[in-house]
Amino acid sequence: MTADVLVEVDDLRVWFPSGGGLRRRDGGRVRAVDGVSFEVRRGETLGLVGESGCGKSTTGLALLRLVEPTGGRVVFDGVDVTALGRRDLRRLRRRMAMVFQDPYASLNPRRSIGASVAEPLEVHGLHRGRRQRRARVGELLELVGLNPDLADRYPHEFSGGQRQRVGIARALAAEPDFIVCDEPIASLDVSIQAQILNLLERLQRELGLTYLFIAHDLSAVQHTSDRIAVMYLGRIVEVAPRQALAQQTPAHPYTRALLSAVPLPDPRRERARERIILRGEVPTPLHPPSGCNFRTRCPEVFEPCDRVDPALQPVGSSSHLAACHLHGVVGREEEPQTAG
Amino acid sequence: MTAPVLSVHDLTVAFATRRGTARVVNGVSYDVAAGETVAIVGESGSGKSVSSLALLGLLPQPPATVTGTVVFDGRDLLRVPREELRRVRGNGIAMVFQDPMTSLNPVLTIGRQLTEGMQTHLGLDDRAARERAAELLAQVGIPSPRRRLDDHPHQLSGGMRQRVMIAMALSCDPQVLIADEPTTALDVTTQAQIVDLVERLQAETGTAVVWITHDLGIVAGIADRVLVMYGGRVVEEAGVDALYDDPRHPYTLGLLGALPVLGADRPEQLVAIPGLPPDPVALPPGCPFHPRCPQRDDERCASQVPPLRQVASDDDGVAHRVAAFYDADPARLRRLDAEGLP
């Protein structure tokens, strides 16, 4: 691992037992995250984009071990997170934080926002003493553009955008190096989304933060990220520098379809555009297809796709990876199966 | 332009709430012609959804109070008896909502829900209605439609459910389809499928479409004309090209600047409109946008409501109207605090 890599994820798997209650035994396993590898470099924003159910949020949670990985490794600044005991994990979590989609659901409605922001300080024993803690909370609120006098108010008194600022202040409380932002703007209005994106950018600049920015909105991901990883059905299908996507040269057919489906706020470009309409629906992660996960919907499907599980391989440059046989058949042989 | 199929004039909607009267829609007027797609764009609380619910009589009164006129097929829908309005909903004006799970009945089969309207509005018998229902499902791209008729909503994916809603809305050949954020809950690739579907069906049937959305990206792809709503008013109205080429209202300009655009080079910082949208219980006096407006100038902004006035018209004669005292100036917007802080 090179020095500029802060987080290294290697063959991460998160499988959930399927079907609750009595059927649990024979329900099989939902492969929410199924062999994901990537790295996040110090100071960068890595975007993780994909549609609902692709496993992007579960990946984010697994990095912090907020869900337990079924297999694989997560190495944070040289420390294997997946091997840590509870006490060491708690210590390490000081350096990793999370911002959630819906700050209304992640803030306790019965605690003042000041108390919520102070929570990580209590957990990690920082800024001990009432006065110091209060001062630190005030500082944090100011940092995210809120008036420190609002510390005694409750979440319901805030708008969605303000609540997200509170969520960010809480994430920053213990001075982390790394923040997983899980759909941080998805539930906000457009004019407020821009406020939050600009805030996250400024904080990154000022505090030297590293972000994993998880979102379904490719335009927002492309705006904020230095590199972008695209997920489909529990796998990463492409990792590209933002310019590669900006110039519309994705290497994986799924990324191409995803890009072509994103509406552009430009009527002329919209009319001129060829849209790739994908056939059918995402298969269930309970029984992913053999070979390539995407083959059941892929417009380019050909012979090896149902029997070779494609590995991520460099396309063009060493920084642009795609898992697709169009760039050479590389991967693990599997028993072909017809169902999808 | 051909005669409108639907003509809304000076529509207002107010709700009695514990905090006082919420003025959610404050004088909205627009026409929709056959085959035309009009997009109504706004953020939450702008009144875009409520205005469409009101014109179909779908708001309980009280607590709502609705005034204005909504002319459809020679009648004012706000003044016709309930029975007649019921006939209009369905084979006159149909509606598709954002969340197909809450608008479908979870305990009835897809077939039962699809045939009910056709039996009521078209007088079809069981067999004929079922036959037609299967045809409709095939038309909206649902595989093995006949089998799906016996499914319940939970057995379908979100995209499939929205297709069922569209099939249902189109089942009685409406003249106007009102689509209220029909793709907001869907993934982009599914959204592309649904947009494609509605465009295809519209080309076949000549239905007028009113598409309500917060997404200026979608609008660029589907609309002929666009209305931008803010604080319960139309603040700008134009043909789709004119709106994106030459936005005149500071709010429209702000919305466009706030959008990250796919394919842009190293992105410029986004424009963040400062502050929050107005509270309908305590609307600011004057222009509803003035407290957040970078263009705000004299006391007129804070005391008078700017009327919607025509500023241009495009090659097809579509009027460009704007409700602002001052034209939007991109340079001023850029000077705002990057995070929209006051």
pLDDT digits (tens, 9 = 90+) for A199-236: 999 999 999 999 999 999 898 999 999 999 999 999 99
CB-CB neighbors (< 8 A) of A51 in chain B: 187-190
CB–CB of A240/A256 below 8 Å?
no
For position B83, what pLDDT does the model report? 86
Q: Name the band, by pLDDT with cuts 50, 70 and 90, for residue B141.
A: confident
Q: How many DSSP H helices and E strands does chain B contain?
A: 13, 12
Beta-carbon-side half-sphere exposure of residue B126 (alpha carbons within 13 Å)? 0
Domain boundaries, chain A: 5-19+27-95+176-333
CA A72 – CA A55 distance, rounded (Å): 15
CA dihedral for B78, B79, B83, B87, sign (positive or negative): negative
Question: Kind and range of the H or E element at A40?
Answer: strand A29-41
CB-CB neighbors (< 8 A) of A191 in chain B: 43, 254-255, 258, 272-273, 277, 340
Interface test with A, best of B261, B271, B318, B334 (most A CBs within 10 A): B261
CB–CB of A27/A87 below 8 Å?
no
Interface test with A, best of B41, B142, B162, B189 (most A CBs within 10 A): B189
For position A3, what pLDDT does the model report? 59
For position A247, what pLDDT does the model report? 76
Q: SS3 for A122?
A: helix
Q: Can you read off the two tokens belonging to residue B87?
A: 């006939």
Rounded to 5 degrees, what are φ and ψ at B330? Answer: -55, -35
For position A29, what pLDDT does the model report? 84
The chain A residue lying nearest B268, using CA atoms, is: A223
Is the confidence at residue A68, as pLDDT, over 50? Answer: yes
Answer whether B187 sits within 8 Å of A264, measured CB to CB. Answer: no
Would strands A71-76 and A79-80 be described as parallel, antiparallel, or unpaired? antiparallel
The chain A residue lying nearest B241, using CA atoms, is: A267
CA B299 – CA B82 distance, rounded (Å): 46
CB-CB neighbors (< 8 A) of A264 in chain B: 217, 220-221, 261-263
For position B333, what pLDDT does the model report? 67
CA distances in angstroms from A229 to A8, A43, A205, listed in the order given: 14, 17, 22
Answer whether A191 sits within 8 Å of B196, measured CB to CB. Answer: no
CB–CB of B92/B72 below 8 Å?
yes
* Tally of CB atoms within 10 A around B109: 16
Which of B159, B215, B272 is facing A191, going by the closest CB pair? Answer: B272
Which of B255, B265, B272 is facing A195, going by the closest CB pair? Answer: B272
For position A322, what pLDDT does the model report? 95
- Beta bridge partners, A67, equal none
Answer whether B257 sits within 8 Å of A51, measured CB to CB. Answer: no
CA B50 – CA B244 distance, rounded (Å): 25
Q: Which residues of A325-335 are buried (b: 16+ CB within 10 A; e: fewer)?
A: bebebebeeee
Which of A52, A189, A222 is facing B260, going by the closest CB pair? Answer: A222
Q: Can you read off the two tokens belonging to residue B57?
A: 């009589």
CATH assignment of A5-19+27-95+176-333, given 2.60.40.420, 3.30.565.10, 3.40.50.300, 3.20.20.70? 3.40.50.300
Mean pLDDT value of segment A234-256: 89
Answer whether A265 sits within 8 Å of B217, measured CB to CB. Answer: yes
For position B7, what pLDDT does the model report? 94
Range of lowest pLDDT (A255-259, B249-253, B310-314):
B310-314
CB-CB neighbors (< 8 A) of B240 in chain A: 267
**For all residues of chain A together, what is the average pLDDT?**
89
Mean pLDDT value of segment B187-212: 86
CB-CB neighbors (< 8 A) of B339 in chain A: 145, 195, 198-199, 202
* Helix A253-261 and helix B188-205, axial crossing angle in degrees, nearest 10: 60
Is the confidence at residue A49, as pLDDT, over 90? Answer: yes
For position A331, what pLDDT does the model report? 86
For position A88, what pLDDT does the model report? 92
Instruction: Count the residues in chain A.
Output: 340
The chain B residue lying nearest A249, using CA atoms, is: B263
Q: How many CB pairs under 8 A join A and B?
A: 146
Mean pLDDT value of segment A122-142: 91
Mean pLDDT value of segment B169-182: 86
Query: Residue B312, class by beta-carbon neighbours within 10 Å (0-12 exposed, 13-18 middle, 19+ buried)?
Result: middle
Q: Closest Cα partner for B47 from B234, B323, B290?
A: B234
User: What share of chain B in percent tops pLDDT 70?
Assistant: 94
Is the confidence at residue A132, as pLDDT, over 60? Answer: yes
CA A263 – CA A244 distance, rounded (Å): 18
Q: Can you read off the two tokens belonging to residue B141?
A: 């791209």
Mean pLDDT value of segment A315-324: 91
Mean pLDDT value of segment A63-83: 94
Interface test with A, best of B98, B214, B339 (most A CBs within 10 A): B339
Q: Name the band, by pLDDT with cuts 50, 70 and 90, for residue A98.
A: very high
CB–CB of A251/A229 below 8 Å?
no
**H helices of chain A, where?**
56-63, 86-93, 103-106, 113-123, 130-143, 160-172, 190-207, 218-224, 242-246, 253-261, 267-272
Answer whether B215 sits within 8 Å of A263, measured CB to CB. Answer: yes
The chain A residue lying nearest B278, using CA atoms, is: A159
**For all residues of chain B together, what is the average pLDDT?**
86
Is the confidence at residue B21, as pLDDT, over 50? Answer: yes
- Beta bridge partners, B205, equal none
* Tally of CB atoms within 10 A around B45: 20
CA distances in angstroms from B221 to A51, B30, B203, listed in the order given: 21, 20, 15
Q: Name the band, by pLDDT with cuts 50, 70 and 90, for residue B338.
A: low
**H helices of chain B, where?**
48-55, 82-91, 100-103, 110-122, 126-139, 145-148, 158-170, 188-205, 216-222, 240-245, 250-258, 300-303, 330-334
* Tally of CB atoms within 10 A around A177: 18
For position A340, what pLDDT does the model report? 41
Is the confidence at residue A30, as pLDDT, over 50? Answer: yes
Residue in the structure block whose two tokens are 């666009």: B226
For position A65, what pLDDT does the model report? 94
Mean pLDDT value of segment B123-146: 85
Q: Closest Cα partner for B5 from B194, B280, B207?
A: B207
Q: Closest Cα partner for B247 from B331, B327, B336?
A: B327
Q: Closest Cα partner for A162 from A98, A203, A118, A107?
A: A107
Answer whether B260 sits within 8 Å of A192, measured CB to CB. Answer: no
Mean pLDDT value of segment A34-56: 93
Distant-in-sequence, close-in-space partners of A125: CB < 8 Å, separation ≥ 6? none
CB–CB of B13/B50 below 8 Å?
yes
Is the confidence at residue A105, as pLDDT, over 50? Answer: yes
Question: Kind and range of the H or E element at B39?
Answer: strand B37-41
User: What share of chain A in percent tops pLDDT 90?
Assistant: 63
Span A136-163, pLDDT tens digits: 999 999 999 999 999 999 998 888 889 9
User: What share of chain B in percent tops pLDDT 90?
Assistant: 26
Q: Closest Cα partner for B288 from B242, B327, B329, B323?
A: B323
Q: Can you read off the two tokens belonging to residue A44?
A: 């960068």
User: What share of chain A in percent tops pLDDT 70?
Assistant: 95
Answer whether A263 sits within 8 Å of B160, measured CB to CB. Answer: no
Is the confidence at residue B340, as pLDDT, over 70? Answer: no
Is the confidence at residue A22, as pLDDT, over 80? Answer: no
Q: Name the band, by pLDDT with cuts 50, 70 and 90, for residue A339.
A: very low
Q: Can you read off the two tokens belonging to residue B47?
A: 């009144």
Span B297-319, pLDDT tens digits: 778 888 889 999 988 887 888 88
Is the confidence at residue B1, as pLDDT, over 60? Answer: no
Q: Name the band, by pLDDT with cuts 50, 70 and 90, for residue B296.
A: confident
For position A241, what pLDDT does the model report? 92
Mean pLDDT value of segment B100-109: 83
Q: Closest Cα partner for A179 from A168, A193, A190, A192?
A: A168
